[in-house]
Amino acid sequence: MAQTVRKAVFPVAGLGTRFLPATKAIPKEMLPVLDRPLIQYAVEEAKAAGIEHFIFVTGRGKGAMEDHFDRAPELERTLEAAGKTKELKALADLLPDAGSISYTRQQAPLGLGHAVWCAREFIGDEPFAVILPDDMVKSKVPCIKQLVDIHAKTGGNVVGVMDVPRDQTNKYGILDVSEDDGKLAAIKGLVEKPKPEVAPSTLSIIGRYVLLPDVFEHLGRKEKGAGGEIQLTDAMARMIGGKPFHGLRFEGERFDCGSKIGWLAGNIALAFDDPEVSDALKDFIRKRM
């Protein structure tokens, strides 16, 4: 029986240069999608999957995230005095349990693999989730829960995957598969950002992972890969063989909120489902079209 996944790592040390100057003083993870920052969607997704310990790998200038997941007594008193119970409840609902969040610093931008490695002391010897907040997934069942459920059945490692156009394989980690039933693919190899002509498939990893702690041994070698960075994909590739490794075509729609068009699309998609703004937004779009 697979060990329960209780911990999740959130690599949030990136500079968000694609959103400058907006991200000069605000972490990109605090950019709002409708009425909540990106990082809150990621944490809520993890909580809905049964995650109990939330580990943030941060960098300089990320203090706003710590403040967001903390009490704000002055604001709470102001809302209470104004009788704004709805807003007070929203603040209370976003707070994780006391002691359930940990922070560590990635002191140099050495890649996603290095960021995950920085969380090793918090993970210990148990399977864990990795959630990249830039990838927001709109789904009935939270995306990381879908992976956690598969891990409970198969054990081993599980990554969220989706098909991408072949001419875009050089932007992603790509799977080489041995079996594929249309939903779950058995992985025999992983390649980071291959050129389209040599890519083994068009199945791309997105920012959702359930990994065994064995990955830290490989990440600890600090071998640099594509872009001169320590790549998580490379470390995962070295784990293939002894234990199950699967790619799950998750149910849901993924928005790359690390790009301007993905962030805008995510805002619109969620706004269409919000009864307070949906009709007005659709009317505005019709007029602009």
CA pair distance 186, 246, nearest whole angstrom: 5
Lowest-confidence pick of 58-62, 185-189, 266-270 = 58-62
**Span 26-52, pLDDT tens digits:** 899 999 999 899 999 999 999 999 999
User: Helix (H) and strand (E) counts for the chain?
Assistant: 11, 13
Q: Which of 141, 139, 136, 202 has the alpha carbon at shortest distance from 167?
A: 202
pLDDT above 90: residue 87: no
Q: What is the average per-residue pLDDT within 108-126?
A: 92
With 70 as the cut, is the pLDDT of residue 1 above it? no
Q: Is 158 helix (H, G, I), strand (E, B) or coil?
A: strand
Which domains, ranges and CATH numbers included, belong to the chain?
A: 7-288 (3.90.550.10)
**CA 15/CA 160 separation, integer angstroms:** 24
- The pTM score is 0.92
pLDDT digits (tens, 9 = 90+) for 160-214: 999 999 999 988 889 998 888 889 999 999 888 889 999 999 999 999 999 999 9
Whole-angstrom distance, CA of residue 179 vs CA of residue 177: 6
Say yes or no to pLDDT of 238 above 80: yes
Name residue 169's amino acid.
T
E-state strands within the chain? 7-11, 32-33, 36-37, 53-58, 101-105, 128-131, 135-138, 157-163, 173-180, 184-192, 203-211, 245-249, 253-256
